[in-house]
Amino acid sequence: MTTAISVKNLGKRYQIGAAETKFRYNMLRDVLVDTVYAPVRLVKALVGKSDRRANKNFIWALKDISFDLEEGKVLGIVGRNGAGKSTLLKVLSRVTEPTKGIVTVRGRVGSLLEVGTGFHPELTGRENIYMNGAILGMKSAEIERKFDEMVEFSEVGQFIDTPVKRYSSGMYLRLAFAVAAHLEPEILVVDEVLAVGDAEFQRKCLGKMNDVAQQGRTVLFVSHNMSAILRLTQEAIVLNKGQLIKRAPTPEAVDFYLSSGQAETGERTWSADEIPASSEPFKPISLRLKDKNGNIVDTVRSTEPATIEWEYQLDAPLTGLRLGMYLNTMRGEYVFTTFDTDDAKQYEQFGTRKAGRYVSRCAIPADFFNEGRYYFGVNASSFGVKRYFMDENALSFNVDISGAPGTQWPELRQGPIRPRLYWQIEKLG
């Protein structure tokens, strides 16, 4: 099998910080001021007080990346925001040049880094198809050949001769994607284009990308949508802070990405000045979200159970204390409220809590949440008597539904709950 893409020790450095923002447009005035201050800087350097701007002003967006990709394979690229995924695609698309290393590419590269680049609002849909196709590298003969297919795919039909500025955002996206999707390069590079558009659009995009993959082209696919990655790719690489930290068959790589020490969040600790004096004798310590293995995470898989634990301290015995948690969606809608003494047995046993350190753990069942982002609010109170402590936005987390029932269709389902319900299908006669 021939290698389509070979990346060796790839590095890309960007200039950031003071140098970037202050001198971004490099006004002559700034250059002059800079020149005037040069002797000052020289003196400072001699005295040993130089501000070492060399280190502060550069960031390596990509650090020593090496991998090979065979022809016909579909590779997923995952990583947190800022990991370097888009930069890698830009280098592969020759939009930007590497600082170090070498990339060998065999075949034409078609890039879908953004949908609708080159569209001009004054031109009609028809004219924009030709324009966009030409920009993406298609010859006009090729565009003509595929014109009807593209129009059909975009479902824009009768509006094809109206200026694009009159289109709805959905039509615009569909048309833009239609053109880009009919690129037929040997290597296709796609960057999170599924992040925009409604559910219908996403479904279409995924379908088309699947077709492209089936046709035997080499595809590189960057996405935050783990379901899409799992569906379309065979192998995936995980990038973190510019480095390639894992390459594995997709399920393994996705698992690694979701659970690998992304534990900077997933825990909320309250410092002394965040706790009002009125909360005495109750003192919250920390709130943690843990996955099934006990790791502190900020993303849980809906197919696995999770635990929320709240650690706190009582400086004096308290009667009637109850610790509550409110779950909200990111849009602020309430999902549920739960208290640690909701259960009658707990209520009896912990009617009075003696002084000391405690933890209240809540077990979140598997197959409960729908995908999305949620946040917990917490509250420690004594019903009808006093509210000791409250934090309305204590901890946020993400739910990933890869592998959940129904994810064989890449569609967005509404609602915060996605329970696993049992269906029985029976043929009657």
Partner 1 sequence: MTEPTKYEPTTIYINPSTGIAALNLRDLWTYRELVLFMVWRDVKVKYKQTLLGMAWAVIQPVMTMLIFTFLFGKVAKLPTDGIPYPVFSFTGLLPWGLFVVALNQGSRSLVAHNNMVTKIYFPRLILPMSSVFAGLVDFAIAFVILAGLMIYYKVTPAWNVIWTLPLFLLLAIVTALGVALWLSAINVQYRDVNQALPFLTQFWLFATPVAYSSSVISDKWQILYSLNPMAGVVNGFRWSLLGSGNGPDTALWVSAAISILLLISGLFYFRSMEKTFADTI
The site for partner 1 (CB under 8 A) is made up of 14, 25-28, 90-109, 111, 113-114, 117-118, 120, 122-123, 127, 130-131, 134-137, 139-140, 142, 145-146, 149, 163, 182, 184, 186, 215, 217
User: Both tokens of residue 353?
Assistant: 């809590």
Looking at beta carbons only, is 89 or 395 nearer to partner 1?
A: 89
Looking at beta carbons only, is 45 or 95 nearer to partner 1?
A: 95
Looking at beta carbons only, is 181 or 308 nearer to partner 1?
A: 181
Looking at beta carbons only, is 114 or 298 nearer to partner 1?
A: 114
User: Both tokens of residue 323?
Assistant: 């610790």
365 DSSP assignment: P
User: What is the rounded CA–CA span in Å between residue 334 and residue 221?
Assistant: 35
Q: How far is the CB of 175 from partner 1 (least distance, A)?
A: 16
Looking at beta carbons only, is 193 or 300 nearer to partner 1?
A: 193
User: Both tokens of residue 137?
Assistant: 């590298």
Say how far residue 70 (Cα) sits from the centre of its chain: 27
Q: What is the CA radius of gyration of the chain?
A: 27
Q: Which of 327, 323, 332, 340 is nearest to 369 (CA)?
A: 327
Centre a 10 Å sphere on the Cβ of residue 113 and count the other Cβ atoms it contains: 17
User: What is the rounded CA–CA span in Å between residue 92 and residue 241?
Assistant: 18
Q: How far is the CB of 413 from partner 1 (least distance, A)?
A: 32
Q: Which of 270, 264, 268 is nearest to 282 (CA)?
A: 270
Q: How far is the CB of 217 from partner 1 (least distance, A)?
A: 8
Q: How far apart are the first and last CA of the chain?
A: 52
Q: How far is the CB of 184 from partner 1 (least distance, A)?
A: 5
User: What is the rounded CA–CA span in Å between residue 158 and residue 125?
Assistant: 10
Q: How far is the CB of 203 from partner 1 (least distance, A)?
A: 21
**Ramachandran area for residue 75 (φ above 0: left; ψ -120 to 50: alpha; else beta):** beta
Q: How far is the CB of 308 from partner 1 (least distance, A)?
A: 42
Looking at beta carbons only, is 71 or 267 nearer to partner 1?
A: 71
